[in-house]
Amino acid sequence: MRQSQLFTKTIRETPRDEKSINSRLLIKAGFVDKLTAGVYSYLPLGFKVLKKIENIIREEMNKILGQEVLLPALHSKKNWEITDRWHYKEMFKVKSREGKDFSLGWTHEEIITPLVKKFVQSYKNLPVFVYQIQDKFRDELRVKSGLLRGVEFIMKDLYSFHRDEKDLDKYYEKVKKAYFRIFERCGLKKQTFLTLASGGTFSKYSHEFQTITPAGEDEIYLCQKCKLAVNKEIIEKEKYKCPKCKSKKLEIKKAIEVGNIFKLKDKFSKPFNFKFKDKDGKEKPVLMGCYGIGLGRLMGAVVEVHYDKDGIIWPKEVAPFDCHLLALSGSKKKFERKIGKVSEKLYQDLERAGLEVLYDDRKDKTAGEKFAEADLIGIPIRIIVSEKTLKRGCVEIKKRKEEKTRLIKLNQIINYVK
Ligand code: ATP
Ligand code: MG
């Protein structure tokens, strides 16, 4: 993409009312725009990152045989009355002009359970794994953390349906692995811990995926002896002792809950009277699991972990582009033309080689301005074409996270970048 065509611009001033690093950097670099607290637009650069994250999640969900659907965001009251959750405090409610009650989806157990019930009668129809990637709405109170806590936000929610606990447990472990692959591909492997959390009334524990960063709204407790991570609720219940090894040596860390997996068992199948006929001819309740990841929160978490004083440093797989090609203006007309010609060809060659390139072809920006914007936007590889580099038949390459630059011969560049 040519930067001259990008309708958005980076913003010079740091947005004053933004407290969190992720929203400051993402707004400043032109990835997102804030409509009001907790409500964001994704601009072309941010949309590209969002789609990369979405595709990583989709690939990993498909690998564990999740079937993608899109459920309504607008829910009817009766579904929520069945589970007695119509008065949930974070749920937005809306009325039609004829006075019919609706709510905006903040989660989808109440929709997916009766839906899957329509297609499952016997053990032969189980298990079922269904997921969607969709907007959720929650009337959140503390919305000061940018993309980490939205009032409207995008979530991937997967629901699984099983004959028995053994099958649920087996799938639950598969989801754990898929989640780790997702966070690894998003560049958060080192910082993300599987954390014991409360399981509600139906399971002893659920699991959160907590990414350690000072920006986190949660606190996790890392056992220094057995390395178990536990959330605040659990550690309070356990009187500040590790639930596994009973050690009291705990390290407290701030963390972002990027994902949550939960064994629901028959919590929702019961109120919806969702049963199946088992092999032995008996009717039994279907057992469920649910598994969430917030896409915006994940994008915000990536920024909170990967940035420096100059801007964002995107991990490779979620970067909006693979490389940022900067054409610097020359001192004379002759060079100006040559730089233009070489950059243009390089841009096309790189794209043809399957690389995604942001091409800074703007003529009205100084080298300093281009460098500063490139650092702010944070694409992993920067390629510079200038009078100086061309005099040596080269371009200059610099990785965003390294100081070191190197000159590469023009004909070697594609291989080098790849
Ligand atoms: P929190 O305790 O942070 O409010 P939650 O327990 O309410 O999270 P879940 O209902 O389990 O979250 O939602 C699943 C996932 O959706 C979370 O792990 C998180 O990644 C994401 N998520 C939840 N609430 C928000 C929000 N307000 N904004 C962005 N992402 C969210
Ligand atoms: Mg919440």
Compute, in angstroms, the gap from residue 326 CA to the centroid of ligand 1: 39
Dihedral angle over CA of 86, 90, 95, 100, nearest 10: -10
Mutate to test the pocket of ligand 1, among 257, 291, 293, 304 (most ligand atoms within 8 A of CB): 257
Total residue count of the chain as it appears in this document: 418
CA–CA dist 211, 190 (Å, integer): 9
pLDDT digit string, tens, across residues 354-391: 999 999 999 999 999 999 999 999 999 999 999 999 99
Compute, in angstroms, the gap from residue 28 CA to the centroid of ligand 2: 27
Closest atom of ligand 1 to CA, residue 107: 10
Compute, in angstroms, the gap from residue 179 CA to the centroid of ligand 2: 19
Q: What is the mean pLDDT of the chain?
A: 96
304 contacts: CB under 8 Å, gap ≥ 6: 20, 21, 22, 148, 211, 213, 214, 215, 256
pLDDT, position 67 = 98
pLDDT, position 237 = 93
Mutate to test the pocket of ligand 1, among 155, 183, 217 (most ligand atoms within 8 A of CB): 155
* Atom 26 of ligand 1, nearest CA residue: 149
* Atom 18 of ligand 1, nearest CA residue: 259
Question: Residue 54 forms beta bridges with which residues?
Answer: none
pLDDT, position 313 = 98
- Which ligand has the minimum distance to the alpha carbon of residue 142? 1
3-state secondary structure of 140: coil
Compute, in angstroms, the gap from residue 106 CA to the centroid of ligand 2: 9
pLDDT, position 208 = 97
Compute, in angstroms, the gap from residue 307 CA to the centroid of ligand 2: 26
Residue 228 exposed, middle or buried by CB count within 10 Å (0-12, 13-18, 19+) = buried
Closest atom of ligand 1 to CA, residue 258: 20
Compute, in angstroms, the gap from residue 111 CA to the centroid of ligand 1: 18
* Atom 21 of ligand 1, nearest CA residue: 294
* Atom 25 of ligand 1, nearest CA residue: 149
* Atom 4 of ligand 1, nearest CA residue: 149
Q: Residue 385, Cα to own-chain centre: how many angstroms?
A: 34
Helical pair 295-305 and 44-63, crossing angle rounded to 10 deg: 110
The gap between the terminal CA atoms of the chain, to the nearest Å, is: 18
* Atom 23 of ligand 1, nearest CA residue: 294
pLDDT, position 199 = 85
- Which ligand has the minimum distance to the alpha carbon of residue 216? 1
Compute, in angstroms, the gap from residue 196 CA to the centroid of ligand 2: 17
Closest atom of ligand 1 to CA, residue 208: 18
Compute, in angstroms, the gap from residue 63 CA to the centroid of ligand 1: 23
CA–CA dist 146, 31 (Å, integer): 12
pLDDT, position 336 = 87
The structure tokens listed for 16 are: 């004053």
The structure tokens listed for 317 are: 């797989």
pLDDT, position 148 = 97
CA distances from 406 to 135, 207, 374, 378 (A): 44, 45, 17, 18
Closest atom of ligand 1 to CA, residue 106: 10
Per-residue pLDDT of the chain (418 residues; tens, 9 = 90+): 999 999 999 998 888 888 999 999 999 999 999 999 999 999 999 999 999 999 999 999 999 999 999 999 999 999 999 999 999 999 999 999 999 999 999 999 999 999 999 999 999 999 999 999 999 999 999 799 999 999 999 999 999 999 999 999 999 999 999 999 999 999 999 999 999 999 877 788 999 999 999 999 999 999 999 989 999 999 999 999 999 999 999 999 999 999 999 999 999 999 999 999 999 999 999 999 999 999 999 999 999 999 999 999 999 999 999 999 999 987 788 888 999 999 999 999 999 999 999 999 999 999 999 999 999 999 999 999 999 999 999 999 999 999 999 999 999 999 998 8
| Residues in contact with ligand 1 (CB, 6 Å cut-off) | 107, 138, 140, 149-150, 153, 155, 257-260, 292-294, 296-297
pTM equals 0.97
Measuring CA to CA, which residue among 54, 3, 55, 53 is closest to residue 29? Answer: 3
Compute, in angstroms, the gap from residue 236 CA to the centroid of ligand 2: 19
pLDDT, position 36 = 95
